[in-house]
Structure 1
Amino acid sequence: MRKNPVSRNKLSKKHKRALDRERRVTWAFSPVSRVKQSKKTYRRARGKPLADEERHQA
C-alpha cells in the first residue's frame, strides 16, 4: 500500500474512510444489521393493541 505507514490519527477523513472500506470488504457479515433493537424505543411498524370489539371478532 504505502512505503511509510502513517498512523490512523494523522490520516484525513477521506483516507480513513477508504481504509475502512477496504477492511469492510473482508467482513463475513454486516455489523450494522447485527445490532439488537432496544425494547424501549418506539417503532411504528410494531403491532398496535386491538380494541375489545376487534379482539372478539379475530
Structure 2
Amino acid sequence: MPCVDSCVRVDLRTVSFDVPPQEILTKDSVTVSVDAVVYYRIKEPLNAVIKIANYR
C-alpha cells in the first residue's frame, strides 16, 4: 500500500567503527589501556529494518 509502505536503504558492506580507549584496573591493581575496533555486516536486511529499532 503506497500510503503505509516506506523504502529504507540498508548498506550491506562491512562497516567498522572505533571504540574510544578505555582504562581498566586489573585484579592486581595495574591500570591497562584498552582500544578496540568493531566490524559488522548485515546479512538479512529485512530483519535489520523490521526487528531492530536502530541497527547502526
TM-score, structure 1 length as denominator? 0.25
Query: Higher relative contact order at CA 8 Å, sep ≥6: structure 1 or structure 2?
Result: 2
More strand by share: 2
Q: Larger Rg: 1 or 2? A: 1
TM-score, structure 2 length as denominator? 0.26
